[in-house]
Amino acid sequence: MTPEIYELHMLVGRKAGFKKTCGNKVQYPDEEAARDAAFHVNKKRAARRKQSYYPCLFCGNWHIGGKMNVEGLRSYLKNG
């Protein structure tokens, strides 16, 4: 993950709040573990919304959630 995308995720997390960003989600200790988890979930759920991994501002770990590209992150910050 690039520094820009990392920072965008942190800003989106702050705006979305604890419950939506962290809440009861599974915590992964690092980017690699979260990336692997997202890969396996996506492999199992081909028909559902793709999952991606992101850093968490609140717990300092990583989570997986609905995939959002850079444009989606910027749009959420602007309009969310």
Reference 9, options 76, 79, 59; nearest CA is 76
pLDDT exceeds cutoff 70 at 11: yes
> Which pTM was predicted?
0.87
Rounded distance between C-alpha atoms, residue 73 and residue 40, angstroms: 23
Share of the chain above pLDDT 70, in %: 96
Domain count of the fold of the chain: 1
Q: 14 is in which domain, residue-wise? A: 3-79
* Per-residue pLDDT, 48: 74
| pLDDT tens for each residue of 26-72 | 999 999 999 999 999 998 866 578 899 999 999 999 999 998 899 99
Q: Could you tell me the two tokens for 34?
A: 């979260």
Task: Kindly state the tokens that stand for 15.
Answer: 């705006």
The whole-number pLDDT of residue 47 equals 55
Buried b vs exposed e over 26-57: b needs ≥16 C-beta within 10 Å? eebeeeebbbebbeeebeeeeeeeebbbbbbb
Q: Which of 80, 79, 48 is nearest to 66 (CA)?
A: 48
